[in-house]
């Protein structure tokens, strides 16, 4: 069982849409380079991250937060592509539009521990996740760490939505199935999560 509000849309993006999206966001990431952020506890994340949109999610010894500029360049984050806003409007019936897109790049050995997405001011808006590249073993549970979890395979082109009860469900990525796709230059998985970070 998955929590109410978790919705999986298999193969929502076709091969051409996937390739175009990868090309677009990787080009934008040249202006906002991927970084392995540090956690408040001092550990380095295995997943490389950057953002698009008005604000981007960052982490360091000061904590987790959204901010309007890239921590390395000091420049505003690149604008979110219109194709992502179009997808949001098509598969959710939620307004307003997202103001942040977190890009997570998983290379060999990268994973994401169970966590909640709760750094946003507007927790009523869903989180929309797009999988590109290698297949991920995604784990989702309930509202506490003790709740039972379920493993879900997310392949390239799959889209999932965390809304309602699932919006604050604990979730993570156990591992990436290496070389299950050739979509990402250099291999791996690129995950895009669209969020409404600021209050309406």
pTM of the predicted model as reported, rounded to 2 decimal places: 0.96
d(CA 22, CA 185): 9
| Residue range 35-49: mean pLDDT, rounded | 96
| Segment holding 84, helix H or strand E | helix 82-91
> For 181, what's the count of Cα atoms within 13 Å in the CB-facing half-sphere?
25
Q: What is the pLDDT of residue 95?
A: 76
> Does residue 94 surpass a pLDDT of 80?
no
Could you give all domains of the chain from N- to C-terminal order, each with its CATH number?
Answer: 6-34+47-195 (2.60.120.590)
Q: What is the pLDDT of residue 138?
A: 98
What's the token pair of residue 52? Answer: 């698009």
d(CA 38, CA 117): 17
The pLDDT-based confidence of 2 (bands split at 50, 70, 90) is confident
d(CA 68, CA 56): 6
Q: Which pLDDT tens digit goes with each residue over 130-180?
A: 999 999 999 999 999 999 999 999 999 999 999 999 999 999 999 999 999
d(CA 53, CA 49): 14
Q: Which pLDDT tens digit goes with each residue over 11-32?
A: 999 999 999 999 999 999 999 9
What's the token pair of residue 55? Answer: 């604000």
- In sign, the C-alpha dihedral spanning 7, 22, 200, 122 is positive
The pLDDT-based confidence of 83 (bands split at 50, 70, 90) is very high
| Residue range 26-51: mean pLDDT, rounded | 97
> Does residue 10 surpass a pLDDT of 90?
yes
Q: What is the pLDDT of residue 30?
A: 98
| pLDDT, greater one: 48 or 1 | 48
> Does residue 1 surpass a pLDDT of 80?
no
């Amino acid at each position: 069982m998955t929590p109410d509000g978790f919705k999986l849309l298999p193969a929502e993006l076709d091969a051409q849409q996937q390739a175009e999206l990868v090309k677009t966001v990787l080009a934008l990431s040249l202006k906002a380079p991927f970084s392995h952020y540090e956690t408040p506890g001092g550990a380095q994340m295995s997943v490389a991250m950057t953002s698009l949109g008005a604000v981007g999610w960052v982490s360091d010894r000061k904590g987790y937060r959204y901010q309007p500029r890239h921590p390395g360049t000091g420049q505003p984050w690149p604008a979110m592509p219109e194709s992502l806003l179009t997808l949001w409007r098509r598969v959710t019936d939620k307004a307003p539009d997202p103001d942040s897109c977190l890009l997570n790049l998983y290379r060999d050995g990268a994973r994401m521990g169970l966590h909640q997405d709760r750094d946003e001011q507007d927790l009523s808006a869903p989180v929309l996740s797009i999988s590109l590249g290698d297949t991920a073993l995604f784990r989702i549970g309930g509202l506490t760490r003790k709740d039972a979890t379920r493993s879900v395979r997310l392949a390239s082109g799959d889209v999932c939505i965390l809304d309602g009860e699932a919006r604050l469900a604990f979730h993570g990525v156990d591992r990436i199935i290496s070389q299950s796709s050739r979509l990402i230059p250099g291999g791996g998985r690129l995950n895009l999560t669209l969020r409404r970070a600021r209050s309406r």
